């Protein structure tokens, strides 16, 4: 286990350009400490998924580096697991929940079969799906499927979990449950979390630190430490004055940049004046 204040993940000057020349990520520098919960917030379309995939070494960066424990990574390392936004496409429909969760363990030679089964059972329990262990993923609701994906990641015992807008495709109530689940998992298994989201409230609620991204091509606008009380509570934390302050601050950061790039409608007729989309009062 790492020293709590040691830097686990170090991303330096990361740039990613697509094959056709478009710049997805211009320059990102950030770091994550062991057992920390770090969020990356940014407007939609600013290359957040690309960023996570590059950090995970699924894509090769055009410039810059990603280091885990000080070592450069070029292939997806076993200490890192990425949980996708679209759970339906990443889970395996021909396996049961248990099958899915045990799938990544098949390669592990350091565990006996019994140990693997226990590990997967424990992971399924941790996400609260013990009753559905023999079900197929498509028999479950969206939120439950995402839990399966998370259980699968947790059973693999990574040091750091990358989450790509994992709760975006899920309804608000389920989202609250899943948010608390990730906090629980961090406490129970000691896994570091790097979450990417466009939901500012979620980022502030969950994190120890938040990195705010600009519109594409993205850079880090600001690094914000979140000094709210622990443990987090959906009602209490969100009512703290500090919460609102932080949230509005981030909102302002993203909103400011957004203004330059907003799409505008102009109604040609019959109303002979322009109406701006972003909620400005009609003159």
Partner 1 sequence: MPHFRWCEVPESTLPVQKKKSSVNWGGYGFFLVCVVIMEFVARAGWLTSYVPPPSQIFVALWQGLINGDISSQIGVTLSVYVRGLALATVLAITIGILMGTYKPVFDALKIIVEFLRPVPSVAMIPLAILFFGLGATMRISVITYAAFWPMLINTIYGVRAIDPQALDVARNFGITGYEALWRVTLPSAVASIATGFRISATIALIVTITTELIAGNSGIGFYISQMEQANRLPPMYAAIILTGILGYLLNTLYFTLEHKVVFWTPAARERVT
Partner 2 sequence: MNKVFNRGNAAGIITVIVLLLLWQVIAMWKQTVYVPPVSTIFLTFLKEWFSPTFGQQAVPSLYRMAVGYFFASLIGIAIGIVIGSFKRIYQLLDPVLQFWRAIPATAIIPVGILLIGIGDQMKMVVICFGAMWPILINTADGARLVPTERLDTARIFGLTPIETLLRVILPSATPMIAAGMRTGLSIAFIMIVVSEMIGSTDGLGYYILQAQRTFAIPEMYGGILLLAILGYLLNTGFVWAEHKVLAWHYGQTARPV
The residue within the footprint of partner 1, chosen from 1, 19, 173, 282 (CB under 8 A), is 19
56 binds partner 2 (CB under 8 A): yes
Distance (Å, whole) CA 251 – CA 29: 21
Q: Which of residues 170-199 bind partner 2 (CB under 8 A)?
A: none
Rule CB under 8 A: choose which of 76, 134, 267, 278 binds partner 1.
267
282 binds partner 1 (CB under 8 A): no
259 phi-psi bin (left φ>0, alpha ψ -120 to 50, beta other): alpha
Are residues 247 and 201 in contact, defined by beta-carbon separation less than 8 angstroms? yes
Residue 231 beta carbon to partner 2: minimum distance, rounded to whole angstroms? 30
Q: Site for partner 1 (CB under 8 A): which residue of 109, 241, 265, 282?
A: 265
Q: Binding to partner 2 (CB under 8 A): which residues in 213-272?
A: none
Q: Considering the rule CB under 8 A, would residue 84 count as an interface residue with partner 2?
A: yes
- In which element (H, E) is residue 194 found? strand 192-197
For the beta carbon of residue 40, count every other beta carbon within 10 angstroms. Answer: 28
Between 175 and 198, CB nearer to partner 1 = 198
- In the complex, the smallest distance separating the C-beta of residue 32 from partner 2, rounded to whole angstroms, is 17
Does 120 help bind partner 1 (rule: CB under 8 A)? no
HSE-up of residue 256 (Cα within 13 Å, Cβ side): 9
Q: How would DSSP label each residue in 15-75?
A: EEE-TTS-EEEEEEEEEEETT-EEEEE--TTSSHHHHHHHHTTSS--SEEEEEETTEE-SS
Tell whether residue 259 is a contact of partner 1 (CB under 8 A).
no
Binding mask 104-123 for partner 2 (x = CB under 8 A): x--x----------------
Rounded least distance, CB 42 to partner 2, Å: 21
Residue 138 partner contact from partner 1, partner 2, none using kind-dependent CB cut-offs of 5 to 8 Å:
partner 2
The Cα–Cα gap between 53 and 282 comes to: 42
**Maximum alpha-carbon separation in the chain:** 75
Q: Are strands 63-68 and 7-17 parallel, antiparallel or unpaired?
A: antiparallel
Query: Under the criterion CB under 8 A, does residue 5 sit at the interface with partner 1?
Result: no
Residue 178: how many other CB atoms lie within 10 Å? 20
Least distance in angstroms from the C-beta of 239 to partner 2: 35
Tell me: does residue 166 bind partner 2 (CB under 8 A): no
How many Å apart are CA 175 and CA 148, to the nearest integer? 15
Q: Is 60 in the site for partner 2 (CB under 8 A)?
A: no
Q: Is 275 helix (H, G, I), strand (E, B) or coil?
A: coil
54 binds, among partner 1, partner 2, none (CB under 5 to 8 A by kind): none
Mention every residue, 6+ apart, whose C-beta is less than 8 A from residue 278.
258, 259, 262
Phi-psi region of 208 (alpha: psi -120 to 50; beta: other; left: phi over 0): alpha
Binding-site ranges for partner 1 (CB under 8 A): 18-20, 22-23, 45, 215-217, 261, 263-271
- Which parts of this chain interact with partner 2 (CB under 8 A)? 53, 56, 58, 76, 78, 80-82, 84, 86, 88-90, 92-94, 103-104, 107, 136, 138-139, 142, 145, 156
């Amino acid at each position: 286990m790492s020293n709590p204040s040691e830097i686990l993940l170090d991303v330096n000057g990361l740039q990613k350009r697509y094959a056709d020349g478009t710049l997805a990520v211009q320059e990102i520098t950030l770091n994550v400490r062991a057992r920390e919960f770090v969020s990356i917030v940014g407007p939609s379309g600013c290359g957040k998924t690309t960023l996570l995939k590059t950090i995970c070494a699924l894509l090769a960066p055009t410039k810059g580096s990603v280091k885990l424990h000080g070592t450069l990574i070029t292939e997806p390392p076993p200490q890192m697991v990425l949980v996708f936004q679209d759970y339906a496409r990443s889970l395996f429909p021909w396996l049961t929940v248990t099958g899915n969760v045990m799938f990544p363990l098949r390669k592990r030679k350091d565990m006996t079969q019994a140990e693997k089964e226990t590990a997967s059972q424990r992971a399924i329990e941790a996400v609260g799906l013990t009753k559905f262990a023999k079900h197929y993923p498509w028999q479950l609701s969206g939120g439950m499927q995402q839990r399966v994906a998370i259980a699968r990641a947790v059973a693999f015992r990574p040091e750091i979990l990358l989450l790509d807008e994992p709760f975006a495709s899920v309804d608000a109530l389920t989202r609250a449950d899943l948010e608390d689940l990730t906090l629980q998992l961090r406490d129970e298994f000691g896994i570091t979390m790097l979450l990417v989201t466009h939901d500012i409230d979620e980022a502030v609620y969950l994190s120890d630190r938040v990195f705010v991204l600009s519109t594409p091509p993205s850079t880090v606008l600001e690094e914000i430490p979140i000094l709210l009380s622990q443990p987090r509570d959906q009602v209490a934390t969100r009512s703290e004055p500090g919460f609102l302050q932080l949230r509005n601050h981030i909102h302002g950061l993203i909103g400011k940049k957004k203004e330059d790039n907003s799409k505008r409608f102009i109604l040609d007729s019959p109303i002979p004046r322009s109406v701006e989309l972003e909620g400005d009062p009609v003159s």
